[in-house]
Amino acid sequence: MTVKLFFQAIVKFTAGLILVGLLLFLPAGTFAFWQAWLLIGILFVPMLIAGFVMMFRNPSLLRKRLNAKEEQKEQKAVVALSGIMFLAAFVIAGLNFRFKWFVLPDWTVIIGTVIFLLAYTMYAEVLRENAYLSRTIEVQEDQKVIDTGLYGIVRHPMYSATLFLFISMGFVLASPI
């Protein structure tokens, strides 16, 4: 672990926390949006724990996960579009809370939270299984194909986990919109 890596991770974590908070609470017009607090908790507490685990057990994996600079034009477009999707989704969830367009019942928030946490567990298992898991597409020296654990069931378990995370966020926020 290096001091530079530690500060890079803390800065990105803090910036993400502030950004998500602003995107949810400003459109909601209140801090009384309990579903947003729930999402922030189940998103950022495990993220912080995983960050510390990677920092001490596998700093090179943390370094790779923090590097979001995509080189390929097509991948840059995918990253940009998914970023816009996230911004819009969080803002719309806040507006949905404020204007009560279509708010889901509390039991769906609970189910969404369970699905989110299970998907996060799957995500953590993928990080544990695959030390080559970069955020950008790249071939690394001595990289091996992983075919055990979740990789023995599905070719891209990180994508599967991410799909469940994204879908469940709307339920956690009580906003299917």
Q: Give the pLDDT confidence score for residue 113 in this predicted structure.
A: 98
C-alpha distances in Å from residue 170, one per residue of 39, 80, 116, 131, 155: 10, 20, 10, 30, 26
Task: Tell me if 177 is assigned to some domain.
Answer: no
Helix-strand-coil percent breakdown of the chain, rounded to 5?
75, 0, 25
Higher pLDDT, 143 or 112: 112
pLDDT digits (tens, 9 = 90+) for 99-128: 999 999 999 999 999 999 999 999 888 878
Q: What is the pLDDT of residues 41-99, one digit of tens each?
A: 999 999 999 889 888 988 887 887 777 666 677 777 887 898 899 899 999 999 999 99
* Domain of 49, in residue numbers: 3-172
Inform me whether the pLDDT recorded for 133 exceeds 70. no
pLDDT of 32? 98
Instruction: State the Cα–Cα distance between residues 91 and 160, nearest whole angstrom.
Output: 25
* Structural domain count, the chain: 1
pTM here? 0.88
